């Protein structure tokens, strides 16, 4: 590591010269980014291998976190922070005439994920490395990550994410560790000398999985783990083979391009499974490469395969990598010649599974025929797992046809990935208390009765290093001044801030820092996006994927309601507020895209109406991403967490906002309930139906939204503006479908039902925000109680209860 500032400045200037041929005084911020990231990567590489050999090779156990998504965001700032050189580098750069934050803005986000699930995986990697645990990521190196969102005339337009265009500074390609993955072909069986059937896979197509390793630097730089991203390439052999097969050069190239296309893009749809063959290929490609790699590593230790679960844990992030189960079985059975029972015991002991949603439309199933065509041997193994499982059920529950039909892994021509995941693993966890209870009592009730010992809860968390220490340096600073820096290692210590809840100096600081952050964000918004907002107004922030159940529509209708109030009564007393939205809709999600258009239309009307000036402003932030989240979260006063109760498995944005002193307005859903329990009712605004009420109404066949519409004038007025002639419609029928979803189709997500109570909660917020001191107390309580939601806590629970993973921090 550069030991001091002088050395850093020299090294940085040298990099600019040797890699870009530029002197400091002519270098742009992009040049500076390229040189700085390269310099930091050099430092990391120096200790990475050594670190690996010293620690991980002797690690009692390693964990591989298999995930189709890792939403890493930017890495420069995080690496500098974790290497503990951030301040020194920042000063050095200032002295050379640069600003670190401007340099950081030149890094393209690694957006290899859709939303919560992918970002959780990234937070987990940070915690694993920071806790000194040998836990690594296994993912795909998509050529195009999450699409870039543009707003054109109020509509979302998707633009390809060219994140690799300037190169990705943090990866190391390792062609020498490439692995072959096979697709297609057929399976032959032959009786062996032992009298057992032996299977061999033939006539397949081979693809080369080439790993690109990204170092994951833990806090204090002691541990450096690996995120291994696999990329699909044809092997040289394949190219020769293809050349021989095709007599037309262009046809050959076309075929080759098709092979590579497996890792081309991230599916941008985070709830509806489209059953696309390419997606299934991606899933198997990741799993097969990852498991083969791990087994090779294990074999270097010269131990019997029965010891594998003592040395390796394989975690599957939702069902997307569930083929880990039959793939490990295939290797143990066909390549290592183990018997079924031995292989099964090893597999189930090694694999654990997290469920991230109970939305039925997001539960993965694949047509058996598709699985058979693409992976014939894997399909046979899944069918065998199913058969043995159903037989064992028959033994335990004789003649209980209903139970068996309900639990079967293969049924109606479909492979049910959640069932495979539960049966083939030793642990199944939900991501917040409520979510786990819903899994146990409803969605997976019969599985829970059958395997009660497998089920457990692991409430999600977020890394306080990125989301507080890095994103909000001024707040981190005043926290450390008040309670020392122990919270950085042990975020539970944030609780000590509660001692200051009546301390005027502290409360003033909390207020001042929030105000500064709002000003800072407003400056950025004006300079970079040309949007002018008033930092004195209340900043109300609703940032997450756009989904019916997340109810951005409820927020939008409430804004319309406020607008109506202002228009009908000029003296309407309203705390000036700026409503911020950030949300991407899946490209094929028609309703979600309509809601984006609606928000932009409301923004257009409200922001241009002179009657409203200084009271209301609506901003739709284009292209919501990790780096944008890092900018806005420190500036938020209100955190909108308003999902239909029971639908949001956990939420993690709620935790990030809370940790930065925003106060939640939310339903009793997901981790909001745990936030409520931490901060107490005076420091959160809850409203709406409770989860059990929602579930009851669903069971009884829904409610009549017309009733609310007829009884509640405020609701009716807002809803009517979607279809009647109004400044919103200007006679257009554009929002008719939203209106119909609310009234004709009975409001599946209870938007109208919860609206009156939401208006009440928002009214109270408006009033309370005027009381600066009391508001700062709420803000302080939220920061103080957020330690529980550090992903360090979550990871320690996974490590103790599921993975049997220890910290290597004590090893030298």
**Which residues form the catalytic set?**
356, 544-545, 550, 652, 656
Q: Give the nearer residue to ligand 26V in terms of CB position, either 380 or 799.
A: 799
- Residue 431, interface with ligand 26V (CB under 6 A)? yes
Which strands, in side-by-side order, build the sheet including 538-543? Answer: 616-621, 577-582, 538-543, 638-641, 663-666, 685-686
Q: Give the nearer residue to ligand 26V in terms of CB position, either 356 or 753.
A: 356
Tokens found for residue 553: 């529509």
Q: Give the nearer residue to ligand 26V in terms of CB position, either 48 or 65.
A: 65
From the CB of residue 528, how many other CB atoms can be counted at a distance below 10 Å?
10
Q: Which stretch binds ligand 26V (CB under 6 A): 113-121, 484-492, 700-708, 758-766?
A: 113-121
- Residue 280, interface with ligand 26V (CB under 6 A)? no
Contacts with ligand 26V in 441-470 (CB under 6 A)? 460
Minimum CB separation of residue 260 from ligand 26V in Å reads 20
Contacts with ligand 26V in 115-144 (CB under 6 A)? 115-117, 120
How large is the C-alpha radius of gyration of the chain?
A: 27
Q: Which stretch binds ligand 26V (CB under 6 A): 142-150, 496-504, 614-622, 649-657?
A: 649-657
Interface characters, 260-279, with ligand 26V (x: CB under 6 A): -------x-xxx-x-----x
Q: Give the nearer residue to ligand 26V in terms of CB position, either 116 or 787.
A: 116
- Residue 318, interface with ligand 26V (CB under 6 A)? yes
Q: Which stretch binds ligand 26V (CB under 6 A): 111-119, 597-605, 614-622, 754-762?
A: 111-119
Distance (Å) of CA 288 to CA 91, 200, 282, 583, 672: 46, 17, 10, 34, 37
How far apart are alpha carbons 444 and 635 in whole angstroms?
40
Minimum CB separation of residue 416 from ligand 26V in Å reads 14
- Residue 776, interface with ligand 26V (CB under 6 A)? no
Q: Give the nearer residue to ligand 26V in terms of CB position, either 554 or 719.
A: 554
From the centroid of its chain, how far is CA 491? Answer: 21
Cβ contact 754:555 at 8 Å: no
Q: Which stretch binds ligand 26V (CB under 6 A): 491-499, 625-633, 644-652, 801-809?
A: 644-652
Q: Out of 356, 542, 577, 617, point to the residue binding ligand 26V (CB under 6 A).
A: 356
How far apart are alpha carbons 737 and 594 in whole angstroms?
8
Cβ contact 147:113 at 8 Å: no
Tokens found for residue 508: 């003033």
**Any alpha helices (H) in 484-542, and if so which ranges?**
486-489, 504-529
Burial class (CB in 10 A: 0-12, 13-18, 19+), 772: exposed
Strand 312-317 and strand 62-66: the pairing is parallel
Q: Which stretch binds ligand 26V (CB under 6 A): 112-120, 293-301, 393-401, 634-642?
A: 112-120
- Residue 309, interface with ligand 26V (CB under 6 A)? no
With CA atoms as reference, report the closest residue to 116 among 686, 797, 624: 624
- Residue 363, interface with ligand 26V (CB under 6 A)? no
Q: Out of 51, 225, 357, 459, point to the residue binding ligand 26V (CB under 6 A).
A: 357
Minimum CB separation of residue 120 from ligand 26V in Å reads 4
With CA atoms as reference, report the closest residue to 384 among 337, 339, 352, 354: 339
Minimum CB separation of residue 119 from ligand 26V in Å reads 8
- Residue 362, interface with ligand 26V (CB under 6 A)? yes
Interface characters, 735-764, with ligand 26V (x: CB under 6 A): ------------------------------
Angle at CA of residue 736, ends 720 and 561, nearest 5°: 30
Minimum CB separation of residue 275 from ligand 26V in Å reads 9
From the centroid of its chain, how far is CA 808? Answer: 27
Q: Give the nearer residue to ligand 26V in terms of CB position, either 269 or 565.
A: 269
Burial class (CB in 10 A: 0-12, 13-18, 19+), 583: buried
Cβ contact 549:648 at 8 Å: yes
Minimum CB separation of residue 698 from ligand 26V in Å reads 18
Cβ contact 566:574 at 8 Å: yes
Minimum CB separation of residue 791 from ligand 26V in Å reads 11
Q: Which stretch binds ligand 26V (CB under 6 A): 4-12, 47-55, 108-116, 502-510?
A: 108-116
Minimum CB separation of residue 129 from ligand 26V in Å reads 20
Minimum CB separation of residue 730 from ligand 26V in Å reads 35
How far apart are alpha carbons 734 and 721 in whole angstroms?
11
Phi-psi region of 141 (alpha: psi -120 to 50; beta: other; left: phi over 0): beta
With CA atoms as reference, report the closest residue to 313 among 286, 347, 341, 288: 347
Instruction: Please state the φ and ψ torsions of residue 579, each to the nearest 5 degrees.
Output: -95, 120
Contact residues: ligand 26V, CB under 6 A:
114-117, 120, 267, 269-271, 273, 279, 318, 356-357, 362, 431, 460, 648-652, 670
């Amino acid at each position: 590591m550069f030991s001091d500032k002088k050395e850093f400045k020299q090294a940085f200037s040298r990099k600019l010269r040797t890699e870009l041929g530029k002197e400091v005084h002519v270098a742009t911020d992009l040049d500076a980014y390229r040189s700085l990231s390269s310099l930091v990567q050099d430092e990391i590489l120096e200790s990475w291998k050594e670190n690996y050999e010293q620690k991980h090779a002797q690690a009692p156990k390693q964990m591989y976190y298999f995930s189709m998504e890792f939403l890493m965001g930017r890495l420069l700032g995080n690496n500098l922070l974790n290497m503990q050189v951030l301040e020194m580098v920042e000063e050095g750069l200032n002295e050379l005439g640069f600003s670190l934050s401007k340099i950081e803005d030149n890094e393209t986000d690694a957006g290899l994920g859709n939303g919560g699930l992918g970002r959780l995986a990234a937070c987990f990697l940070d915690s694993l490395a920071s806790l000194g645990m040998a836990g690594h990521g296994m993912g795909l190196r998509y050529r195009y990550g999450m699409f870039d969102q543009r707003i054109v005339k109020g509509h979302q337009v998707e633009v390809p994410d060219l994140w690799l265009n300037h190169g990705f500074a943090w990866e190391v390609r390792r062609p020498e560790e490439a692995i072959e993955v096979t697709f297609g072909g057929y399976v032959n069986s032959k009786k062996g000398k032992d009298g057992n059937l032996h299977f061999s896979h033939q006539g397949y197509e081979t693809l080369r999985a080439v790993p690109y390793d990204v170092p994951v630097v833990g806090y204090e730089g002691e541990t450096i783990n690996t995120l291994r991203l696999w990329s699909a390439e044809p092997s040289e052999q394949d190219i020769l083979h293809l050349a021989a097969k095709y007599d037309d050069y262009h046809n050959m190239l076309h075929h080759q391009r098709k092979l590579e296309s497996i890792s081309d893009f991230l599916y941008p749809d985070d709830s509806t499974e489209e059953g696309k063959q390419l997606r299934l290929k991606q899933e198997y490609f990741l799993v097969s490469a990852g498991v083969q790699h791990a087994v090779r590593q294990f074999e270097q230790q010269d131990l019997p395969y029965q010891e594998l679960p003592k040395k390796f844990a394989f975690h599957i992030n939702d069902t997307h990598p569930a083929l880990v189960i039959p793939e490990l079985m295939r290797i143990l059975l066909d390549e290592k010649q183990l018997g079924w029972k031995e292989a099964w015991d090893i597999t189930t002991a090694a694999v654990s599974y997290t469920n991230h949603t109970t939305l039925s439309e997001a539960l993965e199933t694949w047509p058996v025929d598709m699985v058979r065509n693409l992976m014939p041997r894997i399909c046979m193994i899944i069918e065998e797992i199913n058969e043995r499982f159903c037989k064992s059920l028959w033994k335990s529950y004789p003649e209980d046809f209903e139970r068996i039909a309900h639990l079967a892994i293969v049924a109606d021509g479909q492979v049910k990935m959640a069932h495979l995941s539960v049966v083939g693993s030793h642990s199944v966890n939900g991501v917040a208390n409520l979510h786990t209870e819903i899994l146990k009592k409803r969605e997976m009730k019969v599985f829970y009765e059958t395997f009660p010992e497998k089920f457990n809860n692991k409430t999600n968390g977020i890394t306080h290093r990125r989301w507080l220490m890095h994103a909000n340096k001024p707040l981190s600073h005043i926290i450390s001044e008040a309670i020392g820096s122990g919270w950085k290692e042990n975020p539970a210590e944030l609780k000590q801030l509660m001692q200051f809840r009546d301390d005027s100096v502290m409360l003033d600081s909390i207020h001042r820092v929030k105000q500064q952050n709002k000003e800072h964000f407003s400056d950025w918004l004006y300079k970079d996006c040309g949007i002018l907002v008033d930092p004195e107004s209340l900043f109300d922030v609703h940032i997450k994927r756009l989904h019916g159940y997340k109810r951005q529509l409820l927020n939008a209708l409430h804004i319309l309601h406020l607008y109506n109030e202002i228009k009908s009564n000029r003296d309407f007393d309203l705390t000036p507020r700026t409503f911020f939205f950030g949300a991407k809709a899946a490209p094929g999600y028609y309703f979600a895209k309509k809601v984006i258009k609606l928000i932009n239309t409301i923004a257009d009307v409200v922001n241009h109406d002179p009657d409203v000036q200084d009271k209301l402003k609506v901003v739709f932030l284009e292209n919501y991403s990790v780096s944008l989240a890092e900018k806005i979260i420190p500036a938020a006063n209100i955190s909108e967490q308003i999902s239909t109760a029971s639908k949001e498995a956990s939420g993690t944005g709620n935790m990030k906002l809370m940790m930065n002193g925003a106060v939640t307005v939310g339903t009793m859903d997901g981790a909001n309930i745990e936030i409520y329990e931490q901060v107490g009712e005076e420091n959160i605004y809850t409203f709406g139906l409770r989860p059990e009420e929602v579930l009851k109404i669903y069971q009884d066949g829904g409610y009549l939204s017309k009733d609310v519409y007829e009884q509640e004038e405020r609701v009716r007025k807002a809803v009517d503006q979607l279809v009647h002639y109004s400044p919103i419609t200007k006679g257009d029928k554009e929002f008719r479908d939203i209106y119909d979803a609310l009234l004709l189709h009975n409001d599946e997500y209870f938007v109208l039902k919860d609206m009156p109570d939401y208006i009440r909660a928002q009214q109270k917020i408006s009033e309370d925000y005027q009381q600066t001191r009391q508001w700062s107390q709420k803000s302080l309580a939220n920061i103080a109680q957020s330690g529980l939601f550090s992903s360090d806590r979550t990871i320690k629970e996974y490590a103790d209860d599921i993975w049997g993973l220890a910290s290597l921090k004590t090893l030298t």
